[in-house]
Amino acid sequence: MKIAVCVKHVPEGAARIDPTSKRLDRSGEGGLNHFDANAVEEALRLKADSDAEVVVVSMGPARAADSVRKALAMGADRALLISDEGVAGSDLVGTSAVLAAALEREAADLVLFGQQASDADGAVLWAAVAERLRRPVVSQAMELSLADGSLRVKRQTEFGYDVIEAPLPAVVAVSDAINEPRYPSLKGIMGAKKKPSETLSLADLGLDAAAVGEAGAKTEVLALGSPPPRGDSRTIEGDGNAAQAILDFLAEKRLV
């Protein structure tokens, strides 16, 4: 049994779009997309039950290795980072092509995704990757179990809850309510450095650089507008007087 987990390295703190390249500025500090910690955690939980191998897969700049290492420190066994000048500026079409090519090589029984990338808020990538892998896909999983070569997911929709079953191999995107991700232990952090970690280029995956990255993108950012006006919003530090301050504010707004 092999489980692949797709994780993204995202900017930390206030992200910004570079006005010249019109791309997300990825030069600052970054970390593991916190929604992906839920996917890593779920893989580790399944591993405990089924003795699976857990492989983390990420596409991103060289420093995405930090996020990959965090997933290894949590307990994943092995990592695959696709890092190449040519992938910068990839949109959904490009990103899904790159990840699908890497996942094709891994031939995992189960591919897990997080609920959304906190920088892009797409919450869509899994469906594009599953389409390329030609595998069943289930998203928004709040409960996941495996038995007899198939999976069972409970998920929320606009109308209530659905229970969905699908044969493996398959792709599942988990919601952030599925578990509480663990923090890496000191031992895990030390051990992560020794775990196998491979970095691949587009050429290694047999992909044409013209089809992905900025060159292959089918969408584009045309213009950046100024941020919408913020109104008269205030923020206060919650010291001993916070409750009184809130009451005063509500009274001022004639809400009490």
Partner 1 sequence: MSLLVFLEHHGNELQKGSLGVLAKAATLGDPDVAAVLLGGGVRALASEAGTFGAGKVYVAEDDALEPPLPQARVDVLATVVREGGYGTVLFANSVLAADVAAGLSARLEAGLNWDLVDVALQDGTLVGKRPALQDSVSVDVGWRSEPRLALFRAGAFDAVATGGGEPEIEELSVELEEHSRGARVVEQQLEDTSGPSIEDADVIVAGGRGLGAPESFALAEELARALGGAVGATRAVVDAGWYPYSAQIGQTGKTVSPKLYVALGISGAIQHKVGMQSSNVIVAINKDANAPIFEFSDLGVVGDVHEIVPKLTALLEQRRG
Ligand X SMILES: Nc1ncnc2c1ncn2[C@@H]1O[C@H](COP(=O)(O)O)[C@@H](O)[C@H]1O
Ligand Y SMILES: Cc1cc2nc3c(=O)[nH]c(=O)nc-3n(C[C@H](O)[C@H](O)[C@H](O)COP(=O)(O)OP(=O)(O)OC[C@H]3O[C@@H](n4cnc5c(N)ncnc54)[C@H](O)[C@@H]3O)c2cc1C
User: In terms of CB distance, is 52 or 98 closer to ligand X?
Assistant: 98
13 binds, among ligand X, partner 1, ligand Y, none (CB under 5 to 8 A by kind): partner 1
| 220 closest CA partner among 44, 17, 66 | 17
Of 47 and 245, CB closest to ligand X: 47
Considering CB distances under 5 to 8 angstroms, the limit depending on partner class, which of ligand X, ligand Y, partner 1, none binds residue 39? ligand X
Cα–Cα dist 210/213, whole Å: 8
Binding flags for ligand Y, 173-212, as an x/- string (CB under 6 A): ---x------------------------------------
209 is in the binding site of which of partner 1, ligand Y, ligand X, none (Cβ under 5 to 8 A by kind)?
none
Least Å distance, CB 117 to ligand Y, is: 11
Least Cβ distance, residue 213 to partner 1 (angstroms): 13
Contact call for residues 158 and 143 (beta carbons, < 8 A): no
Rounded Cα–Cα distance for residues 71 and 56 (Å): 7
Residue carrying structure tokens 């409750």: 243
Does 120 interact with ligand X (rule: CB under 6 A)? yes
CA-angle at 32, arms to 155 and 176, nearest 5°: 20
Stretch that binds ligand X, among 14-22, 55-63, 196-204, 247-255 (CB under 6 A): 55-63
| Backbone φ and ψ of 59, nearest 5° | -115, 130
Choices 111-119, 180-188, 223-231, 247-255 (CB under 6 A): range interacting with ligand X: 111-119
Is 33 within 8 Å of 135 (Cβ atoms)? no
Q: How far apart are CA 83 and CA 61, in angstroms?
A: 5
Please state whether the peptide bond connecting residue 229 to the residue before it is cis, i.e. omega within 30 degrees of 0.
Answer: no
Dig out the tokens for 201 from the structure: 């280029």
Q: Does 117 bind ligand X (CB under 6 A)?
A: yes
Chain residues in the site for ligand X (CB under 6 A): 6-8, 33, 35-36, 39, 58-60, 95, 99, 113-117, 120-125
Chain residues in the site for ligand Y (CB under 6 A): 115-116, 123, 140, 176
